Structure 1
Amino acid sequence: MTHRTLQTIIPSHASSDGDGVKIRRVALFDTKVADPFLMLDELGSDNPDDYIGGFPPHPHRGMETLTYLRFGALEHRDHLGNRGEIRSGGAQWMSAGRGIIHSEMPSREMSRLHGFQLWINLPAKHKMDAPKYRDVPADEIAECTLDNGINAKAIAGSWQLNSQELQGPLQDLAAQARYLDLYLPAGSEVTIPIDAGHNALAYVYEGQLETSPAAPEKSLLVFNQTGDTLQLQAKSDTQLLLLTGKAIKEPVAHYGPFVMNTREEIEQAIQDYNNGLFGN
């Protein structure tokens, strides 16, 4: 058993998107160490002015989104007729494939929003597949608490934490991506197997892990690919998202909501959208 070591720390940055929604963003389009992950946004505020504008209708092509809410509610609508709402503890998966137009709007009744949206790259052979969509209510999210007080919620993929196995409801994400929301009490430690050829990342949204160098809160920790396990120790009470996925190893061309392999494919996506080929 060989533990992976910390390779790099990528800080998040304050930004905004949609209709003025305030977020913290980690953009990964230009780094190969996070492949297949493209971007992670954290949405978090108890001031409705920071998020009530939501994300009005906009297009996507060539990637997947996975939205996970800890608090609040978001309603999804798309041009294919899909409509659904996720509430506190739930998740929403969308594969844009060859093109989808959707909106994500917050409930006006809520007084707090905290959640995350992850962008996952699609390999070239699947970028023009038909779009797909699924809501996952909170009661479908697999959860366990270990003897040392560690709590885990598996949103996607299959996990083993110390001796505990956990199966997330989403099992078919692009690049075999897995997604875990993990709470570690101060001083606790967990060991998690990581598949060969898969990258492992941890976004610490509260607290701090024992790392060298020290990683500040709201940072993405990227671990190297040498080793078959990840050992995490909490310096303080810590909440983090743990992400793993198989590196696609393909060129990434990115423009706004489109993620393809070449600049020509991006130009085609823009043309198709402008010509109404994504739908109304």
Structure 2
Amino acid sequence: MVASPSFRRIERLIQSHPSQDGDGVHIQRIHRFDGELDPFLMLDELGSDRPDDYIGGFPPHPHRGIQTLTYIIHGGITHEDHLGHSSAIQAGGAQWMHTGRGIVHSEMPLTDSQGLHGFQLWLNLPAREKMSEPRYRDVRSGEMPRLKADKAELIALGGHWTSMAGDSIAGPLESLAGDGAVAHAQLKGGGELTLAAHSETLAVYVFEGTLQIGEETVAAGQLARLGAGDTLALASREGAQCLLLAGTPHREPIAHYGPFVMNHMHEIDQALRDYRNGSFTD
């Protein structure tokens, strides 16, 4: 006898809020350094057709203890770091950075006719990897596999994704912290997308249109944190786009200060000392 699917329901809706970072870049931000979205820590949405809102970019700055994943919808981002990596991604591309014990990098905007629209995720590294070697990778749009459904499509950035029809794909970013998986879902009006969803942490961030999850509606700028279950069913009457975030919690203490995320404040203090005395990138 085959068990009936257990659908994931919304436990909480989290509203993004306006903020600024870097050199005055306007963003919509969701941050959860309390472990609510573990292993995910923060989601920034950059979106504007006004260059003054983002042209200053993110000049050189340090990170320790996290991974970042930057994904571009319109425009582009250049990356340079102290390890010698230098690259640019355009619409549909992604940049992944494993900061480990320390990396100093910059991210500067590129624009197209629609301005700049993209996202940056922070994923927490487990304690055993926080002082590991830093690494970097960029991925082009054509490297990302797609799952197609009637009036819907899922683009896999990282991790494994499986439709209820049994089709499975894996995104090119294979080393996301906490068995992380990230995807971009696009639904046309009347579109539906049903996925196997076994990850303990599962969240959906809507950035265009409105999305139905069960009996509830999620609007653009909202993140839905989902409860237990094994199936995720998405639908949209008028069309929607969203990011899907899945992973396994570390369940470790989180200490956060600016660009550093460690397990304890004495480790944050050490990161600050290393950065100030010039030993951060040794």
TM-score (norm 2): 0.93
- Contact between 2:74 and 2:111, CA under 8 Å: does it hold in 1? no
* Distance in 2 between residues matched to 1:22 and 1:279, nearest whole Å: 29
- Alignment-derived partner of residue 242 in structure 2: 240
**Aligned partner (choices 20, 25, 30) of residue 29 of structure 2:** 25
Aligned-pair CA distance for 1:29: 0.9
> What is the letter of the counterpart of residue 279 of structure 1?
T
| 8 Å CA contact 1:48, 1:111 repeated in 2 | no
Pick which of 241-250 and 212-221 moved more: 212-221
Q: Does 1:175 align with 2:166?
A: no
What is the correspondence of 1:9-24 to structure 2 with a 5 Å cutoff? Answer: 9-24=13-28
Partner residue, 1:258: 260
Contact kept? 1:47, 1:111, Cα under 8 Å: no
The answer to whether structure 1 residue 72 and structure 2 residue 71 are counterparts is no
Q: How does 1:1-280 map to 2 (within 5 A)?
A: 1-30=5-34, 32-107=35-110, 112-146=115-149, 148-163=150-165, 164-196=167-199, 198-211=200-213, 212-224=215-227, 226-279=228-281
Task: Give, in whole Å, the separation in 1 of the partners of 2:181 and 2:225.
Answer: 15
* Structure 1: gaps spanning 5 or more residues: none
- What SS class does the counterpart of residue 81 from structure 1 fall into? coil
- Are 1:73 and 1:110, in contact at CA under 8 Å, matched by a contact in 2? no
Query: Contact conserved, 1:181 with 1:239, CA < 8 A, in 2?
Result: yes
Which amino acid letter does the alignment assign opposite residue 247 of structure 1?
A: P
What is the CA-CA distance between 1:158 and the residue it aligns to? 1.4
CA contact (8 A) 2:151 2:190 kept: no
C-alpha displacement of 1:7 = 0.4
Provide the identity percentage: 49
The alpha-carbon deviation at position 120 of structure 1 amounts to 0.2
How many Å apart are 1:14 and its aligned residue? 0.9
Contact 2:158 2:183 in 1 (8 A): yes
Structure 2 residue runs without a partner (length 5+): none
Distance (whole Å) between structure 1 residues aligned to residue 42 and residue 153 of structure 2 = 25
Aligned partner letter, 2:29: R
Shift of 1:182: 0.2
Q: How much has 1:265 moved relative to structure 2?
A: 0.7
Structure 1 residue 214, shift from structure 2 partner: 3.6
Deviates most, 109-118 or 164-173: 109-118
- 1 CA distance for matches of 2:268 and 2:185? 36
Matches of 2:111 and 2:204 in 1, distance apart?
A: 31
**Letter matched to residue 259 of structure 2:** P
Cα distance change of structure 1 residues 110 and 215 upon mapping to structure 2, 3 Å threshold:
closer
- What is the number of equivalent residue pairs in this alignment? 276
Counterparts of 2:280 and 2:51 in 1: how far apart (Å)? 32
Deviation at 1:213, TM superposition (A): 4.8
Q: Which residue identity lines up with residue 54 of structure 1 in the other structure?
A: G
